[in-house]
Structure formats: C-alpha cells, structure tokens
Structure 1
Amino acid sequence: MALLREDLEDLTDDEDFLEYEFEKKKHAKLSDGELENFLRKRGTNFEKLTYFHDLHKRFEKNVVSTLKNMGMDVDVANRFNYTEDKIEKADIILPIGGDGTFLLASSKVKDNKKPVIGFNSDPNRSEGHLCLPKKIFYKHQGSNRKAANGKSLSYNKFSIIMYDFKGNFEWLLRSRIRITLVVSEEENLIPNYLHAVDNDIPGSIVQNKDGVKVLPYLALNEVFMGETLSARVSHLQLRLNGSTETTNLKCSGICVSTGTGSTSWHLSINRLPAQSVAELLRLIDIDATEGKDGLAAVLSDIYNKNLIFPPDDKRMGFTIRDLISAGVWPQPKGIKSRGFATKIEVKSSCFDASLVVDGGVAFTFNDGAIVLLEIIPEDALRTVIFKD
C-alpha cells in the first residue's frame, strides 16, 4: 500500500495546511527559527500556518499507525519519491490531504485496476469532492464534532473508517480524458507546470503509428484550451463526435469536462446566479426576490444542480466560454455554447495559447496545433463509494 502526502501542493483554500512545508522547501537554507522570524516579518499568521500543518501530520501519523496495526505494509511517499515503481508495488493508493493531493496521486495511475481512495485530513474545513465524504468521519462521532477548545478533531477513529470497507462499498470507475496532440514542433510538447514545483513528469509521451503524440496525462477533471492572456480572443476550430463539419469560433476558450470535473470548473463557468433568474422573472411580470428561499434562488439551485453529471459517464461536457455570436460568427451558425460529446477535436488558430490539464500542467497550443479528446474505458480511475 502506498500513501501519498503532498508536501508541495498548490496552495488551494482547502489545503493551506501544506503551506508550511512549501515555505520550508522554498527557504531551505533557513533554520526553523529563522524561517519563523521571516514569515512573521512578512505578515504571515504563523500560528495558523503551523496549526493546520500539525493537524495534517497528526492525521497522517494516525492513518499510518492504524494500517500497520491492521497488518498492512505501508510506504509513505511525497511528490518527489512517488514513483512508478512504488505505484507498481502497491495494491492501493491512499492520498492524504485534499482534492489537489488526490489529483496528483491519480495522475500517475494509468489504468483502471489500481484503486485510489482519498482521505481528507481536515474534513471540518474542507469538502473535498474527490476524497471520502465528510459523513464517513462523523459516522461514529455523534454530534461531538469539535474538541472542547473549539478546534478541529484529529479523528483517531480511522480504524472504524477502514472497517466500513468490508463489504460496505462499491467500485466507482471515474472516466478520464485521453489527450492526443498533433504539433509541428517538438518543443511544444514540453510541459509547463503551473504549481510551485515543476520537476514532476508523470511518464513519457507516447508516439503512435501516425506520428501524433499521446500525452502522459489523463484528465480527471477537465482540459482547457485558449489564449493564455484572458483578454485576448481565442480563435479555435471545433469538431464534435467525428463529424466532418468544422465550426470556426471566437471565444474565451473551450473547457472540456468529465463527470468528476462537472462539480468544479464546468459548474463555475455555467452557473446561473439567482440575480439573473430574478431579472428574467421580472421580465415576465413575476415579482421575484433574490433571497435564499425566494423563487429565483430555488430555480437557480435546480438549474445549477442539473449541470452536474455522473463521474462514470462516458460523455464529455464541453463549454465554449463567452462565445461570440454576432455577424458571421460562429461559422457556420447553430452550435450551442454547451453540450455533450463522445469525441472532440479542436484545432488552434491562436497566437499564444495553452492546453491545460486539470489546472496543473500546460502545453503550448498555438496556430496549427490539433488535439483529440476522448474517453477510453481502460483509462478510468478506480475509486470507491460507500453504500448508504
């Protein structure tokens, strides 16, 4: 069994407990005392920083000791030593942290055989759609979710959680997007990492018999294509489901999502705010408020929930951001700004664009580059869901 604890994850809101390790790595020449003085002088809330770091470490220690007490061999890995060899030897991968850590751990698992099961090390503060649900941690805690001092519990009931795996779960094969990229220049295949560390290549780029390149990344959430500078218009050509018809677009980029990713960027792009619903209702002489229990909020919530689709869906959801629909654009007319497809091909006519996988790694996607996106069953990620 391999456990991944992420030392240098991108510092998202739900994983700010990782920032202390990041600062230690970034300022490796400073002693602990010097680092504390530096951070305090900078204005960092040092107590908060170390509190969440310690909380995470206690959780990690508890997981490791519990698994060993259950007779399991445990190999704890971080970003730098999480290798293909470790993955090959492991029966199961258990990322400990949040969704960012889960994405990193799963990025190196290339088939649907090896289970990846995420544990949220701070479920009091973080939802974590990819990790086990918060209710699992509270199952035997009753209503006592806080310690007497009001701080988060460290959850020393991990063995109870492991007991739930005995016949109380079902496998969930989360669809992932395979990315085949056609470029004229080899340097366009050099990955650009968007987080703090840029030396984590998950595998070799595969060249198939036609000379095109299959990237060593399977997108669990989404693939985005568009100009790097958001103010610049993205010129893209889109073909859906193997059609011979190409639609020329001017937009702010295209986001292609899995069902897993439909709760993330896909939802944020397409979300309909209660304000917009209320304004539409007023146009048909319905007096609508934007309050929590008002008609506009209820309709907005129903609409937004329907944007989410199952993580094992074999379709991809595509969204054309800010589609310009004026004059001759799009060419030809008729394409919807959002929909589903089983195969998507995008050709770039952009100036300085990127193709971004799961918000973590980018490739140059300029004029002439072509990408084929598709979901292949054997690329799925094996995870679990608990029975009610």
Structure 2
Amino acid sequence: MSRYEFEKHKQPYLSEDELRRRLAARGSNYEGLMKRHKIHTRNLESVTEALRSHGVEVKVIQKHEYTPEKVNWADVIMSAGGDGTFLMAASHILTRKKPLIGVNTDPSRSEGYLCLPKEYSGKFSRALDRLLAGKFRWRWRNRIRITLEGYQVSHIDPVDLDDLELGAHDHLGPHRDYRYQSESDDERLLHPSERSLDQTETTVLPIRALNEIFIGETRASRTSYYELSVDGRRWEKQKSSGLTVLMRRYNNSLMFDASEPKMTYTVRDPIINGVFSVKNPRGFAKRITIRSRCWDACLAVDGGFSFQFNDGAMAYLEILPEDALRTVILD
C-alpha cells in the first residue's frame, strides 16, 4: 500500500481536491505522493503481469484485506513495497513451509533490505526467470515466538498500529480493557493476583516477530515497571523507558543478521538508584521472560501490531526452528 492509498483508505470521504488541501495543511505534498504512488503501481503491475504470463494465479490484496485465510490460500506470498510491507506480510505466516518474497516497488525511497535486490524492482520478469529456473537458494530467517500468560490473555485482540489514530482526548482507547465491562466495580479493581486462578490462561500470539518487539507503557512519558529474567537467571525488577528485543545484531545496513538463533535486548533509559538497578542493560539471549507491572502497557511487534500487556501478565520470548521464515536469495 502506497502512502497515497493509505491516505485514501483512512479518509475515503474526501474528494481528490479535498485530500490535496488536507495534505497541504499538514505540510505534505499531494503531487509528490501521487508520483511515488504511480511508481509503486507501475512496479506492482510488472510483478502481476510477469506471474500471470507464466500461468500463475494471482490475487492482489491491500493490507487491510490480508487475512489468515488469504495466507492459507496462497502457495507463495509476495510483498510489494518496502521492508515495512515485508514485515507485515511475514507476521501472519506461521509455518516455515510457505515462502515470502519481497519486491521493493520504490527503490529510490525505500531501502528494501529484506526484499529482492533493487535491480529487479522494475524488471521482475528477470527475477521470475531465475526463480523458475531454480537459480536461487532458500534462506530461513529466525523469528521470535511470543507466549502470553495471565488473566484472559486469549481474549486480547491486536491493535493495528498503521491504522491507529490516537486522539489527544483518549490515548487509552486502543488498549482499554473491554473484557471487564460486564464485571462489577469490585471485580474490576481486583489486582490480577487476586482474580480466580481458573481465569489464568496461556496463549501463543498469532504473530511472529521478525525484526523487533517493544514492551512498555503506551504513554512515552510514563516509566515502565516490569520484572525481567534472561535465560533463566534470577528475576530483576526494573524501571525504564521500556524494553526492546530484536533478532541478533544490527549490521552496516542498519538491519539485523538473523543467521544465529539469538535475540538481543536493550533496556531503554534504565533508572538506577538505591532501589532499582540494571546489571546488564543490553545483551544476547535465547529466552527472555517479562512480568508486567505496568497499568497501560503494550507489547508491539515489528511496529505493526500491539497487544495489551498490563500488571500481572507474563511474556515468554523464544526462538524455535519451526517458526523460521522461508525467503529466497537469488544466485
């Protein structure tokens, strides 16, 4: 989805002239957006035409139409955009058997590190010839599995951060706990540890993290309070601006090298005083466990989806071989 398509999807009631004026009022250039949109559309059409010319059945869908049912229908998933589109496409692929191939449709404005080389952006037919001839190698990229444990965690729905518009009057809306609307005031005020043990659940989130996970308060100005255990070591109570976990380490392209099954974590702006301390504000890990002590917190995956993660909830982060994402490298 191009930025122009995103704006149209977000504001379908606006005419083109109204959209132009709305963008201008925000300091954005309508003509520039249309130019990038046409480049994206032209390269997308070259992909679909090349595939159909070889008898491949193709379904072109937008981000808001991307569902598990569509993923199950396809033999191969292809993302048309940049790294953000690739990450979004990867999030719903839960098996290592289904390949994901990324095409950078605007290489002058997008790095496309996860996509095919930029030389194929406007000439996808060349890449397709190599793929059909078997002149490629499979590459499995490790991902992070997230398991939540806590009060009715299986009822927590993800918030789509791309479609989210937070109003100044209601920053809590996306993660307001609607599970408690039918409860009495007394039940609603119970600490998670005081609720019935029968309502404690464990669930694996239906999304895998390919790039990064952020855990912390939804309001950036608030201090995040949680307990952290790395690779089974003793728990450490921490206060900070949140915790970031990503795959392995950054390389010179400012992306990750996921060739080794390890995560790297960073405690952001840790508070260190007579009560709280952080022995290792950053490091590598095979398994990370976090217990939330926050009251309006989220667990955000690859910058695309956010899950409520409030006081008492626990998250287990680990890398499993069966969660690896199948991608290609052209020889």
**TM-score, normalization: structure 1?**
0.70
Is it true that 1:179 corresponds to 2:170 in the alignment? no
Closer, same or farther in 2 for the Cα pair 1:41/1:355, shift >3 Å?
Answer: closer
* In structure 2, distance between residues paired with 1:186 and 1:95: 31
Match among 358, 366, 375 for residue 319 of structure 2 = 375
Is it true that 1:246 corresponds to 2:235 in the alignment? yes
Q: Which has the larger radius of gyration?
A: 1
Q: CA deviation at 1:105?
A: 1.2
Unaligned runs of 5+ in 2: 166-199
Q: Is the 8 A contact 1:172 1:312 kept in 2?
A: no
- SS of alignment partner, residue 85 of structure 1: helix
Q: CA deviation at 1:305?
A: 4.7
Closer, same or farther in 2 for the Cα pair 1:79/1:211, shift >3 Å?
Answer: same
Q: Is the 8 A contact 2:113 2:255 kept in 1?
A: no
Q: Is the 8 A contact 1:127 1:133 kept in 2?
A: no
Q: 1:59-113 CA deviation, whole Å, 9 max, x = no partner?
A: 1111111111122221212223333333223221110011121112111111100
Counting aligned pairs with the same residue, the percent is 45
Closer, same or farther in 2 for the Cα pair 1:231/1:59, shift >3 Å?
Answer: same
User: How well do the aligned residues superpose, as a CA RMSD in angstroms?
Assistant: 2.6
Q: Is the 8 A contact 2:48 2:58 kept in 1?
A: yes
Q: 1:77: which partner in 2?
A: 61
**TM-score, normalization: structure 2?**
0.81
Q: Is the 8 A contact 2:226 2:294 kept in 1?
A: yes
Q: 1:333-366 CA deviation, whole Å, 9 max, x = no partner?
A: 7x31111111110111223221111112222222
* In structure 2, distance between residues paired with 1:19 and 1:308: 23
Match among 100, 108, 123 for residue 92 of structure 2 = 108
Partner AA of 2:127 in structure 1: I
Closer, same or farther in 2 for the Cα pair 1:325/1:257, shift >3 Å?
Answer: same
Q: 1:228: which partner in 2?
A: 218
Q: 1:317: which partner in 2?
A: 264
Partner AA of 2:102 in structure 1: G
Q: CA deviation at 1:384?
A: 1.3
Closer, same or farther in 2 for the Cα pair 1:40/1:317, shift >3 Å?
Answer: closer
Q: 1:120-159 CA deviation, whole Å, 9 max, x = no partner?
A: 001122212221232x43xxxxxxxxxxxxxxxx82x321
Q: CA deviation at 1:43?
A: 5.2
Where does 1:29-178 land on structure 2 (aligned, <5 Å)?
29-36=13-20, 38-39=22-23, 44-134=28-118, 136-137=119-120, 155=122, 157-165=123-131, 166-178=133-145
Closer, same or farther in 2 for the Cα pair 1:96/1:306, shift >3 Å?
Answer: closer
Partner AA of 2:107 in structure 1: P
* In structure 2, distance between residues paired with 1:35 and 1:306: 35
Q: 2:181: which partner in 1?
A: none
* In structure 1, distance between residues paired with 2:69 and 2:230: 38
Partner AA of 2:303 in structure 1: G
- SS of alignment partner, residue 325 of structure 1: coil
Q: Is the 8 A contact 1:40 1:46 kept in 2?
A: yes
Unaligned runs of 5+ in 1: 1-5, 7-17, 138-153, 199-209, 264-303
